Copies of this chain bind each other. A is one copy, B any other.
Amino acid sequence: MSLKTLLFRAISRENKKILNFTPLLVRNHYEDHKNDVRNKFGKTAIVLFGSVLVGSAVKEKLSETDKKEELIEAGIKRTDLPTYRADEVSKHSTKSSFWVTYKHGVYDVTSFLPSHPGGEQILNAGGYSIEPFWNVYGMHKTQEVYRLLESYRIGNLHDEDVLDHSDDELWAKEPFRDDRLLVKTAKPFNAEIPPKEQVQHFDTPNELFYVRQHMPVPELDAKCHKMKIYLKGAKNKEFEFTLKELEKFKTVSIRAALMCAGNRRSEMNKVKPVKGLSWAGGAISNAVWTGVRLRDVLLHCGVDPEDTDGKHVIFTGADMDATGVNFSTSIPLHFAVDPRADIILATKMNGEPLPLDHGYPLRVIVPGAPAVRSVKWLESITISKDESPSHWHQKDYRSFNPTKTWETADFSTAPPVYSLPVTSALCDPLEGDTVAVKEGIVTLKGYAYSGGGAKVLRVDVSTDQGKTWSEAELQSDPAPPRQHYSWTLWSLKVPVQRSVNQMEVWVKATDSNFNTQPERFEDIWNIRGILSNAYHRVKFCLQH
């Protein structure tokens, strides 16, 4: 284990939550000074030094927050409001009158129902506490949501009816994570790979691979894990495979990037707020996945690869929400049996068993599709005439035009996102960096990617706001276009004159279908902030 990892483990044990929102700041200080400290005082000093940095960084951060707006705590007792008993609250669980509780607070959120980003999921909490749900859907635990919730406050819950919904047990078995990950939410755990690490490795080290969880990480035993296959319809059949039994199929390895459909959402959010995790460009990583072909397994079970019309393959994971519903999503059967779609049931990631955070012991890899389709902790596969009925499939990862609002968007007719458009990002330097110019040259590094098997053929970079474009050097996987699932890393050496102290870089990629990125986010804006692939524009300073 590296010194750095040791240091951050030590620090984070104490300050985990606080660290989560200051890592970049801390890390910059740390990177700048660690060698000086190490040389002078040795390893122990490094740990202490790290702690001091965290302390001061946290202090800075908190005083920044203070300046902006007072922190709000939801659900504290208020003397100006009436008190309700739990049985009274429980009567308000219909769309015409919908109350919830949070700690000591009682809220009438009837008028909020149509605006809930999670759709009708909220109905599960009617007349009851929302805490068990928020323990699973931890993205609610933000100042913005607390503030919104309190705006619907109508009273206090009677002291005797306030239950302890502590979430300790739910999250007790979360795996150890590398502290270099940039945490967006802790529960569920969602974290980016630091941009400068992205471009250091063509295949991302497992511990740095970005993590996207919807729920707590389930604990599965590889030795007794069984995956079921259900064929619905005329031939109603059921199959079951242990991991040992799956090994009888031909082993294949596929190099593929996984990217969240919401990668780069934070840039779209600047145009007009969207709902979703505020990913920067770190929700993509690349790996070699090893397993067996889904096609081979399905054909073994008697699935007819020529009879795919209107059929779907539903993947169900072992991760479960507060109501006991397992995570699930689906893809068209047509893709699943395509010999060139390279969809596999994977047990290994970069030659190692899948890490707990990446689906141990078995996950699907649907290369070229949004990572949500690559279901982790795979428990079952269902061939059905319907798409997955789950919330995650029906109410998310669908595409809308910029004019659609939460009120007008119709998820039932919007196309599910099964592929990803061409995108790119500059990863080094980052926005706001100060870069040392070496012999009149600044080196730019980043990634580019396109879904559906398309290969990135060109990355164009402009440092004069689009007047001229230079082609970057590309590092690609040798897989052929149309069956190319890996990302592409790029670099470009840009000559700069001594008089120039600032640089604005625009990056755009062109893929093997000769699609390019749109210029701006305005016309691709959508309520969920997905498919956020306009030019990447980054400003930084130069030091000669």
| Inter-chain contact A458/B399, CB cutoff 8 Å | yes
A415 within 8 A of B: yes
Q: 0/1 per residue, A501-515, Cβ < 8 Å to B?
A: 000000010111111
B338 with A469: CB separation less than 8 A = no
Q: How many copies does the complex hold?
A: 2
A interface secondary structure, majority = loop
Given A338-B340, A340-B340, A508-B523, do A513 and B450 touch, yes or no (CB 8 Å)?
A: yes
Say yes or no: is A470 at the interface (Cβ < 8 Å to chain B). yes
Is the CB–CB distance between B515 and A401 below 8 Å? no
Name which of A335, A419, A480, A516 has the most chain B CB atoms within 10 A of its CB: A516
Q: Please indicate the chain B residues that have their CB under 8 angstroms from the CB of A468 in the complex.
A: 402-403
Task: Report chain B residues within 8 Å CB of A515.
Answer: 421-422, 511, 513, 515
Please indicate the chain B residues that have their CB under 8 angstroms from the CB of A518 in the complex. 516-519
Taking CB atoms, residues of chain B closer than 8 Å to A332 are 480-481
- In the assembled complex, the CB of A454 is this many whole angstroms from the nearest CB of chain B, namely 7
A531 on the B face (CB < 8 A): yes
Which residue on chain B has the smallest CB distance to residue A338? B340
**Hey, which chain B residues are within 8 Å of A480, CB to CB?**
308-309, 332, 334
**Residues 479-503 of chain A: 1 if any B CB is under 8 Å from the residue's CB, otherwise 0?**
0111100000000000000000000
A520 close to B (CB within 8 Å): yes
Contacts known (A452-B482, A469-B523, A508-B523); A458 close to B513, Cβ less than 8 A: no
Interface code A406-434, partner B: CB below 8 Å = 1, 0 otherwise? 00000000010111111000000000000
Residues in B neighbouring A309, C-beta threshold 8 A: 480
A523: nearest chain-B partner, CB-CB: B466
Q: What residues on B are CB-neighbors of A218 within 8 Å?
A: none
Question: Given the interface contacts A466-B522, A519-B520, does A401 sit within 8 Å of B514 by beta carbon?
Answer: no
Given A514-B420, A515-B513, verify A335-B399 contact (CB < 8 Å): no
**A451 interface hit (Cβ, 8 Å):** yes
A18 within 8 A of B: no
B471 touches A401 (CB 8 A): yes
- A457 lies within 8 A of chain B by Cβ: yes
Whether A513 and B470, one on each chain, are in contact in the complex, defined by CB atoms closer than 8 angstroms, is no
A339 within 8 A of B: yes
Contact status of A458 and B510, CB under 8 A, knowing A340-B340, A480-B332, A524-B516: no
- Nearest B residue to A333, CB-CB: B480
In the assembled complex, A460 has its CB within 8 A of some CB on chain B: yes
> Most B CB atoms within 10 A — which of A451, A452, A454, A520?
A452
Q: Which of B420, B451, B452, B514 contacts A417 (CB 8 A)?
A: B514
Establish whether residues A418 and B519, one from each chain, have CB atoms under 8 Å apart when the complex forms: no
Instruction: State whether B513 touches A454 (Cβ < 8 A).
Output: yes
Contacting pair B421 A469 (CB below 8 A): no
Contact with B along A361-401 (1 / 0, CB 8 A): 00000000000000000000000000000000000000101
Contact: A419 with B514, CB < 8 Å? yes
Task: Determine the chain B residues whose CB is within 8 A of the CB of A523 once the complex forms.
Answer: 466, 469, 508, 516, 519
Taken together as a complex, chains A and B put the C-alpha atoms of A399 and B516 apart, in Å, by 12
The chain B residue with its CB closest to the CB of A525 is: B469
- Does A514 contact B421, Cβ atoms closer than 8 Å? yes
Q: Which residues of B contact A417 (CB under 8 A)?
A: 514
Q: Nearest Cβ in chain B — how far from A315, in angstroms?
A: 19
Q: Name 5 A/B residue pairs within 8 A (Cβ), A-sorted.
A: A403-B468, A415-B512, A417-B514, A421-B513, A519-B519
Known: A401-B460, A421-B516. 8 other contacts (CB 8 A): A399-B514, A403-B469, A418-B512, A419-B514, A421-B514, A513-B513, A514-B531, A516-B524
CB-CB nearest 5 A-B residue pairs: A515-B515, A419-B513, A421-B515, A452-B513, A421-B514
